Amino acid sequence: MITTTQIDSNAADSLFRMLDPEGKNSIDPGKFLNQLSGAGILQDDPRLRELLDLPQFRQQIKKGNQIAKTEFNEILQQNALVKKSLSKNLVIPDFEVFCQQIQDIFLDTQRNKGGEVADYIPQLARVDPEQFAISICTVDGQRYSIGDSNTNFCLQSSCKPINYCMALEELGEEKVHTHVGREPSGQSFNELALNLKGLPHNPMINAGAMMSCSLIDNKNNSADRFDKVNKTWQALCGGKKMSFNNSVYLSERQTADRNFALAYFMREKNAFPENTNLTETLEFYFQCCSIESSSYDLSVAAATLANAGTNPLTGKAIFKSSTVQNCLSLMLSCGMYDFSGEFAFKIGLPAKSGVSGALMLVIPNLMGISIWSPRLDEVGNSVRGVEFCERLVERFSFHQYDSLTGNSTKVNPRKKENELMASKVMELIRSSSHGDLDEILRLEAEGVNPNISDYDGRTPLHLAACEDQIEVVKHFIQKEVQLSPKDRWGNTPLEDAKKFKNKDIVSLLEDAIKSQNKDHNKSKVLATKK
């Protein structure tokens, strides 16, 4: 009987051999860390800190010493993340392949020079419009960045989902939604308009975001309230300290007539909680918008939402899953200004944009993506950000309804390459059984071998012969597939056709086999004469 210990030992041996192809019985620490980086687990990952802080590991890296097999086994036992990474058992198994495809999309999108930077305050107008960054963090903490990913930018409206989550955590859904609605407004994000109850339409537009701010820790003083928001962002980003752009804050406050008009309109409708100080609430809102992050860090916050409120790097639960569910629902329906409906239709994923050029995209249970490019379209969304999202869902099966369409032309990076091919093989066999010649041609164009068989040894030709799919059989004969492969029961496609009394297919296969044998014999004669 094989024990679990033996299986673990065999797996450890296989991983060690993978890192030691020359059979030296030792592994170079640099190569070991590069292998982890290739899987998306970077050296600044807090989950690796314990491993990297081990004196023997530090000394080995410093001195260029090797990791012996016993030490490698200890590492696997102490750190499950290392084992999952090396075994390609993370949520994106072939992470390097995935990152190469993301890089391709980035480079294609970078050519887009459309749009203009926000100019309603000088600080945003001065930003270099060519800057562009994409950062990804999966729910397993795999990370990848390209472009200006370490450059800070103001959160602006991308802070709105988090403020809404904080209000929900503190007061609950029922209380929060006595002050703010949850419907798309169908109007501009700063429109002087409320819903029929005299409330802001949703927390993702300016009026609703101000309402969220009025609800957060509102019994406390302004300094402590801002500290709470700042610490929440720090926790969302994996412990990274946030910065604050005071000049943006001051400019926001000086150009706030529309926001003050919205606030007074809401106060006139008694929408705010009792004893709300309007000026302090708006200043708090401007402060939240002026917090700075980078795409590298914002992707971790997005991944926390994708991971139901638990930070994938620290393992800390920042928000309840019910809070995140409510937030993502509103991001999907209201997160992209006047483009929200179109974005939900085409992209099918929760997102929130800001006039700094930030765009936070959430793929639930898979990853968070942060995109930053300052040029905006006419409704205030990052031009490159929207294009990147469009290209992303064109290539990958990330739209939340892709599973309904069975659109196998898209790549599913959740599966290993061998699993993807196995899926295509089964699709080819199924299509042969159903007579779907168009799908067969498409799968063959993708490189699926029509001679391949399932676990019972049955080829697409077996299934087509059984189901009397004459056009499919003709196609396979023209493709010169193997005409007499045997399944696990020793049956050929011709024998299956006879068994099911598919006379036309019997005739086709018999003629094709005779012709094939004749050609084969002719070739043998010619070879003998030579």
Q: Annotated binding residues for substrate, as ranges?
A: 157, 206, 252, 259, 285, 337, 355
264 is catalytic: no
160 is catalytic: yes
Exposed, middle or buried by CB within 10 Å (0-12, 13-18, 19+), for 145? buried
Kindly list the distances between the CA atom of residue 499 and the CA atoms of 259, 406, 502, in Å, as whole numbers in the listed order: 78, 33, 8
**Rounded-to-integer distance, Cα 26 and Cα 130, Å:** 46
End-to-end alpha carbon distance in the chain:
58
Q: What radius of gyration, in Å, describes the C-alpha atoms of the chain?
A: 30
Crossing angle (nearest 10°) for helices 278-289 and 246-254: 140
Q: Give Cβ neighbours of residue 72 (< 8 Å, ≥ 6 apart).
A: 12, 15, 16, 19, 27
| DSSP-assigned letter for residue 363 | E
Q: What are phi and psi of 27, to 5 degrees?
A: -125, 140
**Rounded-to-integer distance, Cα 124 and Cα 117, Å:** 7
**Rounded-to-integer distance, Cα 327 and Cα 50, Å:** 34
Neighbours of 139 (CB within 10 A): 21
Q: Give Cβ neighbours of residue 230 (< 8 Å, ≥ 6 apart).
A: 242, 244, 291
- The active-site residue, picked from 85, 160, 333, 425, is 160
**Rounded-to-integer distance, Cα 333 and Cα 330, Å:** 5
- The active-site residue, picked from 85, 145, 157, 290, is 157
- The active-site residue, picked from 91, 355, 383, 473, is 355
Question: Which two three-digit tokens encode residue 401?
Answer: 């309804």
285 is catalytic: yes
Question: Which helix (H) or strand (E) covers residue 496, if one does?
Answer: helix 493-499
- The active-site residue, picked from 144, 164, 249, 285, is 285
Kindly list the distances between the CA atom of residue 79 and the CA atoms of 49, 68, 85, 102, 292, in Å, as whole numbers in the listed order: 11, 16, 10, 29, 33
355 is catalytic: yes
Alpha-helical runs (H) found in 53-118: 55-63, 69-78, 80-86, 95-110
- Helix/strand/coil for 453: coil
337 is catalytic: yes
Q: Are 364 and 328 in contact (CB under 8 A)?
A: yes
Question: Which two three-digit tokens encode residue 333?
Answer: 């329906």
- The active-site residue, picked from 337, 383, 397, 431, is 337
Active-site residue set: 157, 160, 285, 337, 355
